[in-house]
């Protein structure tokens, strides 16, 4: 009984740290940046409260899985656009923009792609990009064209694309995407490039080279998956500024902040500080045009399944109550 009582008190203390929705209005109203969230179509369709908060707070959406190759063409030549179409239709109905995610990524890739020889693989990648980007031509504000191309030390990740097509696959992907949808902003996107480090250095050198070649790349997506266990990345504002100085837009594309469990008021305050530092770094650079979180509620966060012992990474808790992090962004 004593253990249960103590646990109950702890829960009440933590819940007392949640805050009401801001009197200033929804999050999208307090900034001139796009404010977005990743969206899962099954929750959008099945949960009225989830849909209500999403609609109220954000003006941009990113399909969480529905535009990935493994979903839209799991079997070669057989397409399933139902989830992606539903999210695009929701965005149009509610006046939101869409960030397309993602055209070329080594993960969530159909098995049949990996077995192709180089010449056929190149043709298939071109066809995939032109088919998907072409389907949503004029409906997508920005595309994550190439996702997670580097290792932590700044070397090229040895994906099926890198191994079989070589360095040129990235430039090719951007050219094909631009041909399919000339008005969409095209980004390279990666994690652990928030601060100044070998991986962000490699990304910087790549996009500088692509710009010199006249490749139609318009921006860098900084994912922003952070954890209280590892400290806040150093030099984030300077890193964003150097990409912007190349004439590129920068977007925070997948922000969340993992908390080592159990949750405490102190950890929630630290999480709020991390979110606030990312928000402030973006707002310090004019060409940082977007702040998107990877989901907005702990109810559906990907974190506990991938990082055992960590969780509560979003701006809203499982009951869709705004947390101190939300109040830090929208006081």
Q: Which of 57, 64, 194, 254 is catalytic?
A: 254
| DSSP-assigned letters across all residues of 153-213 | TSSBP--HHHHHH-THHHHHHHHHHHHH-TTSEEEEEESS-SSSSHHHHHHHHHHHHHHHT
3-state secondary structure of 319: coil
Q: Which of 57, 64, 132, 148 is catalytic?
A: 148
Instruction: Read off the tokens for 147.
Output: 């996702």
User: How many C-alpha atoms does 151 have within 13 Å on its Cβ side?
Assistant: 7
Decide if 254 is catalytic. Answer: yes
What burial letters (b/e) apply to 269-288, b meaning 16+ CB within 10 Å? ebbbbbbbbbbebbeebebb
Instruction: Read off the tokens for 325.
Output: 């992090």
Q: How far apart are CA 254 and CA 196, in angstroms?
A: 18
Q: What is the largest CA-CA distance in the chain?
A: 69
Q: How far apart are CA 318 and CA 157, in angstroms?
A: 35
Q: Can you name the residues that pair with 43 across neighbouring β-strands?
A: none
Q: How far apart are CA 323 and CA 42, in angstroms?
A: 24
| DSSP-assigned letters across all residues of 25-84 | --GGGG-SSEEEEEE-HHHHHH-HHHHHHHHHH-SEEEESSTTSHHHHTSBTTB---HHH
How many residues are given for the chain? Answer: 331
Tokens 């939101």 -> residue: 96
What residues are labeled active site?
Answer: 148, 254
């Amino acid at each position: 009984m004593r253990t249960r009582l103590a646990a109950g008190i702890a829960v009440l203390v933590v819940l007392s740290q949640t805050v009401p929705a801001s009197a200033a209005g929804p999050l999208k109203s307090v900034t001139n940046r796009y404010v977005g969230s990743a969206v899962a179509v099954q929750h959008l369709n099945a949960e009225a409260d989830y849909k209500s908060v999403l609609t109220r707070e954000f003006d941009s959406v990113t399909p969480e899985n529905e535009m990935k190759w493994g979903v839209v063409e799991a079997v070669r030549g057989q397409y399933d656009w139902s989830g992606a179409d539903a999210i695009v239709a929701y965005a149009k109905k509610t006046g939101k923009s869409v960030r397309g995610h993602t055209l070329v990524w080594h993960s969530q890739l159909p098995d049949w792609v990996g077995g192709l020889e180089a010449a056929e693989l190149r043709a298939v990648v071109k066809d995939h990009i032109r088919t998907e980007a072409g389907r949503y031509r004029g409906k997508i504000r920005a595309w994550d064209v190439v996702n997670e191309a580097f290792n932590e030390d700044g070397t090229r990740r040895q994906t099926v694309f890198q191994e079989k097509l070589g360095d040129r696959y990235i430039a090719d992907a951007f050219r094909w995407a631009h041909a399919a949808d000339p008005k969409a902003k095209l980004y390279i996107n990666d994690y652990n490039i928030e601060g100044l480090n070998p991986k962000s250095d490699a990304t910087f050198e790549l996009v500088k080279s692509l710009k010199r070649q006249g490749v139609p790349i318009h921006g860098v997506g900084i994912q922003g998956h952070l954890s209280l266990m590892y400290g806040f990345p150093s030099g984030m504002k300077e890193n964003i500024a150097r990409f912007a100085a190349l004439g590129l837009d920068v977007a925070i594309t997948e922000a969340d902040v993992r908390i080592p469990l159990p949750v405490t008021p102190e950890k929630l305050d630290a999480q709020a500080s991390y979110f606030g530092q990312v928000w402030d770094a973006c707002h310090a650079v004019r060409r940082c045009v977007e702040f998107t979180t990877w989901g907005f509620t702990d109810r559906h966060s990907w974190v506990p399944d991938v990082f055992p012992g960590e969780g509560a990474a979003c701006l809203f808790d499982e009951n869709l109550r705004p947390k101190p992090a939300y109040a830090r962004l929208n006081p």
